[in-house]
Structure formats: structure tokens, C-alpha cells
A and B are shown apart, each in its own frame.
Chain A
Amino acid sequence: MKTLTPQMASQLANAAYQIRTAERTGYSLGKLPSQITNNFSFDLSNGPIMGVSGGMLSRVFNRQTGFAVIGHGKNQYQGDTVLAIRGTFMKISLKSLELRDVVTDLHFGLATGDNQTRIHAGFNKVFQSIKPALTESLDPLLRGNSSGTLHCVGHSLGGALAHLAADWVKRYYGNRVCLYTFGAPRVGLTEFAKKTTSTIDKHFRCVHASDPIPMIPVWPFIHAPYNKHEFVLSPGMSINPFAHSMAKRPGYLNTASGHSWKEIAQNTRTNAQSVVLRYANRHQASFSTYWSLRITDALITILKKAGQLPVILAAAGVGTALTFYDLLARSMEHIAKLTPEFFEDVKGLLGHMLVFAGYVTKTVADLTARFIRWVFDVTLGALYRSARQAFDNLE
């Protein structure tokens, strides 16, 4: 099966930003690099795929903007189709609030997605709103032509939507689908990750180690492909909102400018690894993506060891974030009481969380559910604040 090169995928994710609004002479993707125009043609004479994105104001005024563009394969990619979805575009108006909430809402809401698994309610809502327009554009191409591959591409929110689109196309039309995302947030819980890993034929999830968006929403959301590698295109320890950009350095356009997927990966990471954190070593922690992932791994390790992981994951699918973290805190309190070893494991985890969140001098003494809940709050708060501050700046 043919896949797009990293360069083609990143350039397409980039080009999708240009179709938001029309010029005096119509919609245009601008001048594209020849590796794209040699292999795909784009007909924008009828405009891009339009949708109403954003909040209430946009809906009231029915302000439609272009959000996706479809390319028809030729030469090497004859018979294939590419779908590039635009990333988040924020503006100083009320309509930005909704997308801001989608990405930074600590109290995540869940919805049942098209494949009957639990996913982020916000992403599901946006995807359901664009699906009719997607169907209208894809139907003539894919119905009765299940031999071609659909390549879904997107950056940021566009990556999350491309993920949902790829999964939906595979189940609805049966075509082979390849998914290429850059700095995309996590879309769903474990079941969603597992299911889409088996439906989507090839999934290239590209992240920068310092980009905060691919880390959120935090666990129990996890990234897909499940137990497979994501491509870390630039290393880094700290959290840097600018590392989310396509074009600002490091910039996914720069880090994904190669021709082979093996070449561009500086590193790869997979889902949960077994991690035990010692309380005495807690000051090694810092506010970084590395520690965010390590702390999550340590939390999962404890739950697994105590046999509580299935219960907690099941609860994540039905409850709200508030009840979920209450339950998790109570479960941790219970686990800490089981054996001295578990007590040390939980204490080590909480100590690292506190240092991560900036509570460097705070010591962990009692392991009550109430205290544990508070540690969760400050840890999540610190993480979401870094993402939210970038949004606030726009308002």
C-alpha cells in the first residue's frame, strides 16, 4: 500500500489552513510543492468542504468556513484520495471559547462515538457537525470504489478530526485508510484506541516531545495507535506551547520534511510502560512532557499491580471527570493500605506529582482520599494551565 511521505503529509496539513476563507478570485490552496501537485489534483471551483465550526455566534450567523479539502490521486497515487482537515483557528471572539474548552477542559465530557466506544464529547460534536458535508463530498468518490486508499491528514484539532474521519470511512466505505496526524490531541479512551488501531490500516502519529497538545486530554485518554509507536519528531524535556506549531521552530513542517518515516523519527514512544517512582527521588521530576508521561505510567503500574485497572477503566467510561477522579483517589487510598510496598508506591507517585506541579516543598504524609484528590487536582491543574494560557492570550 502506498503511503504519503512525511513531507507530503505535513505540507498537506499545512495547506489545509489556506482554505478557511476565499480570495477575490475564489478559494485557493496557493502554490503547493511539486511532490504534491505531481501526485494529487485539487478542484476548488466549488470551494472546499464547508462547515460551521466554533460556538453559538457562528451558528447564529451561519458563518461557514472551509475546513477540509479533497485531492484526487494521479500518477503514483492513481485511484487514491487525500482528505486534509484544517487545524484549530482561534480568534478573538466568542466562537473560540468552544474549541478552547474542547482542548483544555479539565472536566472532560464523554460521548459514544460512531464506533460505539467512549470518546471526547467535544471532538465528537465537531466531527458530527462536519460529517454531512464530508459524506456529500466523499460519497461520489468512495461509494463503489473500495480499491483506492484514503489518506487522512491533519494538524492539531484537524488531526483529531482526521482520526475520527479515517475510522468512520473505513467502517462506512471499507476503503483502506492511512492516517497522518501532527500534534493531535488524544481522541478517546482505551477501547477507542484499540478499535481504531485495528480499523485504520496505517497510522502515523507525529508529535514533538515539548508539544503539550498531544498529551491532553490526560489519562484515562490514551493515544492511538494502541501499544504502537508514535513518532517523536523533536526531542525535548520542557513543555513549550510553541512546539505545537506547524511553522514556528521546531515546526512540524521542518521536522517532518523528510521522505521516509523511519528517517524522521528522533525517537518513538508507546503506551504505558511499567514504572515505579521512589519518594526519595521525587525532586528529579520537573514540569515536562517526559514526567507527565512517566507519572501516568507509574499510576497505571500501581493500578495494574493491585488488580484495579479494569475497574477504574470501566468507571472512566461511564462517569464524569469529577466522579472519576474521586473514585481514583479512593482507590489509591485503598491500595496504599494493602501492603507497605503499595504504600511506598503511592507515596512515591504523589511526591512526583507534587514536584511536577510546582509544590516542591510539600511533603506527603497521610494518604487519605481527600489529600490524594487534592494532589490530582494540582497536577492536572498545572498541566491544563499551560495549554489554557495560550488560549487565554487570544481572548
Chain B
Amino acid sequence: MQGMSTKRKPWLLLTAALGFLVFFVFSQQVMADMFSWFKKKELQLSPVIQGKILLNGRPASGMTVLRDLKHGDDSYSEKQVTDSNGHFTFPAKIIKVRESMFDTAVKHNIYVQQDEIINIFSISNLNTLDFNSFNALLKEMTCELSNPDFGLDLEPDPLNPGIYLGAISKCSFADESVIKNKEIMK
């Protein structure tokens, strides 16, 4: 009996060690998967924006332009004043967010503050706005304040064809190749 049990022991140990190894590797992989969303990631809420404000065809200088960015409950507002040519520019806005399984509303609105507040550009989506179509529009825009609001259907992201990308704006854009359809909003 004694002999048998010592004979068996190395096998038992080996099996246990192997079992532990398999479990360890497996659990490490699971852990890696489980905690990958704990990391914070950079998220671009807005690229650099170059814009020009016109009123009845003429450059509108000294206009206050507001950019409101929202990621869930977090808001980021910035203010610029147009120069003598009606130009304004906003820097890119990048924030750090945690990955989550839940969806967060993200919004990007540009306003001009006159007597009243006029919304000149508006996009929204879940989780991110960093799509080629949105970025192309924001790169360079010219906004005639007397324009009506246009609804824009944009090229979807090839990786997420189901995500509808649309914008509401009074502006025209240097790169309109991403606009599939443009019509006055009712």
C-alpha cells in the first residue's frame, strides 16, 4: 500500500500542477478581458474647428460663438469671438473616459449669441462623435445666420453602417463630399 501511494503521488502532483496551470492561464485571460474596460481611453469630442459667420452675406465680426460639448452629464463650454473677417476657431477637445457597457449620449452644438441664441450646428450620437463624416464638416464651415436649418444625412462609418449620422445646421462646408442629402428642416 505504502509503495503504491508513493508511486501514484507524482502523477497526482503533476495533474494538480497542470490543473492549476490551466486554471491560472484561463483565469488570467478572463481577468484581462474583465478589466480591459477599466482603462481610461482618450475620446475626441471635437476636432479643430475653423469657421466663418456671415450675416446677409457679409462677414459678421465681434460675434460670440459658443461650442457646447456634452458627454453624459459632463459639459464643456467654450466661447470665441469672430474677428473682422467673421472668422472663429476652436481647438480640438479630447477627454478621457472609461469604457462602459452602457451607452452615453454625446452632443456637439455650436451657437451664435446675438440678441437671442441661434444654434448653427448640431450633431449627437452615442458614446462618440469621432466619425470621419462629422470631422470633415467641422474642419471648415461657413454659416449664414439668415439661412434656415438644414437637415443633413451623412456618410455612415464603414465599420458601423447601422449608426445613422446626421446633422442640423445653417452652414455650408468646405468638404461636402460626406453629405448624402441636404434639405430644409420642417
Contact = CB atoms under 8 A, between A and B. Distances in A.
Interface of A: 7, 10-11, 14, 17-18, 20-21, 23-25, 28, 30-34, 87-91, 155-156, 241-242, 244-249, 251, 253-257, 287, 358, 360-361, 386, 389-390, 393-394
Contact of A245 (B30, B122, B127): B127
Contacts of B109: 23-24
Contact of A33 (B117, B122, B166): B166
B13 to A, nearest CB: 14
Contact of B167 (A14, A31, A91, A358): A31
Nearest to A34: B153
B103 A24 contact: no
Contact of B102 (A18, A34, A156, A361): A156
Nearest to A6: B162
Contacts of B125: 247
Given A25-B111, A31-B151, A247-B160, A360 B23 contact: yes
B101 A249 contact: no
13 contacts: A17-B126, A20-B105, A24-B66, A91-B73, A247-B160, A247-B163, A253-B163, A254-B163, A358-B27, A361-B19, A386-B34, A389-B34, A390-B37
B145 interface: no
B37 A393 contact: yes
Contacts of A251: 160, 162-163
Contact of B105 (A10, A89, A249): A89
A31 B99 CA distance: 26
B: contact size bracket = 35 or more
A31 B37 CA distance: 30
Contacts of A245: 101-103, 126-127
A260 to B, nearest CB: 15
B140 interface: no
B161 A247 contact: no
A23 B102 CA distance: 22
Contact of A32 (B27, B111, B166): B166
Contacts of A11: 164
B174 interface: no
B160 A254 contact: yes
A247 B127 contact: yes
Given A247-B127, A249-B159, A394-B98, A360 B152 contact: no
B100 A360 contact: no
A90 B168 contact: no
A358 to B, nearest CB: 7
A34 B99 CA distance: 31
Contacts of A10: 162
Interface in B68-91: 68, 70, 72-73
- Name the prevailing secondary structure of the A interface residues: loop
A170 to B, nearest CB: 28
Contacts, number: 132
Contacts of B122: 23, 28, 30-31
A23 B126 contact: no
Contacts of B101: 241-242, 244-245, 390
Contacts of B167: 31
Given A89-B104, A361-B19, A394-B102, 19 more contacts: A11-B164, A17-B103, A20-B105, A24-B68, A30-B123, A30-B168, A31-B123, A31-B168, A32-B166, A242-B101, A247-B103, A247-B126, A248-B127, A253-B163, A254-B163, A360-B19, A390-B100, A390-B102, A393-B98
A24 B64 CA distance: 14
A241 B100 CA distance: 8
A116 B94 CA distance: 50
B107 interface: yes
A185 to B, nearest CB: 13
A14 to B, nearest CB: 6
Nearest to B149: A31
Contacts of B159: 249
Given A23-B119, A244-B101, A245-B102, A91 B163 contact: no
Contacts of A89: 72, 102, 104-105
Contact of B111 (A24, A33, A257, A393): A24
Interface string B138-161: 000000000000011100000111
Interface string B110-125: 0100000111001111
* A-B pairs with lowest CB-CB distance, top 6: A31-B166, A254-B162, A257-B162, A241-B101, A247-B126, A30-B124
B12 interface: no
A377 to B, nearest CB: 19
A88 B119 CA distance: 28
Given A24-B68, A90-B100, A31 B111 contact: no
Nearest to B167: A31
Given A245-B127, A361-B23, A253 B100 contact: no
B95 interface: no
A133 B20 CA distance: 56
Nearest to A31: B166
A24 B119 contact: yes
B124 A18 contact: yes
A156 B103 CA distance: 10
A122 to B, nearest CB: 16
Contacts of A386: 34
Contacts of A25: 111, 117-119
